[in-house]
A and B are shown apart, each in its own frame.
Chain A
Amino acid sequence: MKYLVSLLVGMLVGAATFLVFLYLNPLTTANKLSPLSVSDNDLMSLNYSAVAADALLYTNDGESQVAPHPAKVLQLWEPPIRRTDALVTSLSDSRSQNVGIGIKFSSDSESSNILNGQAIVDSVWHIYLPGRGSLFVNQSENYWGYLRNIVVPAHWNSGDSWRGIWNGSTTVGPGALGTASVIGGSGEFAGLDTEGVESLAAQAYTVAAGPVAMNGELLIELPRPAAAIAADP
Chain B
Amino acid sequence: MFRTFLVGMVLGLAATGAGLYYFPAVNQIRERSLIVVHPNQGNTESFHINVPTDRILIGAPGRENPLPAGLEWPDDLQFAGLRSELFKIRNGKDAVVGVASRLAASNADTGDIIEWVLHLPARGSVYMTLQTEPSERGQRLGRLLSGTREFAKMRGTVSESWVADTSAAEDSGAGRIELLTAFVSTEFEDEAVVE
B148 on the interface (CB 8 Å rule)?
yes
B125 / chain A contacts, CB cutoff of 8 Å: 105, 122, 124, 138
Pick from B1, B14, B101: contact of A6, CB under 8 Å: B1
Size of the B side of the interface (Cβ < 8 Å), in residues, is: 72
A136 / chain B contacts, CB cutoff of 8 Å: 117, 127, 145-146
**Interface segment, one of B21-29, B40-48, B156-164, B169-177:** B21-29
A130 / chain B contacts, CB cutoff of 8 Å: 78-79, 81-82, 105, 107, 110
**With contact pairs A12-B12, A138-B146 given, residues A80 and B28 touching in the complex (Cβ less than 8 Å):** yes
Give A71 to B72 CA distance when docked, in angstroms: 12
8 examples of A-B residue contacts, CB within 8 angstroms: A10-B9, A122-B148, A126-B103, A128-B84, A130-B78, A130-B107, A185-B129, A186-B110
B96 touches A112 (CB 8 A): no
**With contact pairs A90-B74, A130-B79 given, residues A76 and B8 touching in the complex (Cβ less than 8 Å):** no
B107 / chain A contacts, CB cutoff of 8 Å: 130-131, 187
**Interface segment, one of A14-22, A161-169, A204-212, A224-232:** A14-22
Give A181 to B145 CA distance when docked, in angstroms: 13
A71 touches B70 (CB 8 A): yes
A194 on the interface (CB 8 Å rule)?
no
Q: With CB as the reference atom, state the residue of chain A lying closest to B148.
A: A138
B88 on the interface (CB 8 Å rule)?
yes
B117 / chain A contacts, CB cutoff of 8 Å: 103, 105, 124, 126, 136
**Interface segment, one of A30-38, A39-47, A81-89, A149-157:** A81-89
A134 touches B103 (CB 8 A): yes
Scan residues 62-103 of chain A and give those whose CB is less than 8 A from a CB of chain B. Answer: 70-74, 76, 78-84, 86, 88, 90, 98, 101, 103
Task: Pick the most buried of A78, A103, A109: most chain B CB atoms within 10 A of its CB.
Answer: A103
A101 / chain B contacts, CB cutoff of 8 Å: 59, 74, 79, 82, 84, 103
B12 / chain A contacts, CB cutoff of 8 Å: 10-18
Give A56 to B13 CA distance when docked, in angstroms: 46
Give A188 to B81 CA distance when docked, in angstroms: 17
A112 touches B26 (CB 8 A): yes
Q: With CB as the reference atom, state the residue of chain A lying closest to B23.
A: A114
Size of the A side of the interface (Cβ < 8 Å), in residues, is: 67
B84 touches A88 (CB 8 A): yes
B81 / chain A contacts, CB cutoff of 8 Å: 130
B15 touches A11 (CB 8 A): yes
A138 / chain B contacts, CB cutoff of 8 Å: 125, 146, 148
Pick from A6, A15, A109: contact of B15, CB under 8 Å: A15
Pick from A10, A81, A124, A188: contact of B4, CB under 8 Å: A10
Q: With CB as the reference atom, state the residue of chain A lying closest to B104.
A: A128
User: What 7 pairs between A and B have smallest CB-CB spacing?
Assistant: A10-B8, A14-B12, A70-B70, A187-B110, A11-B12, A107-B121, A14-B9
B5 touches A84 (CB 8 A): no
A6 touches B28 (CB 8 A): no
A7 touches B4 (CB 8 A): yes
**With contact pairs A108-B28, A124-B148 given, residues A6 and B121 touching in the complex (Cβ less than 8 Å):** no
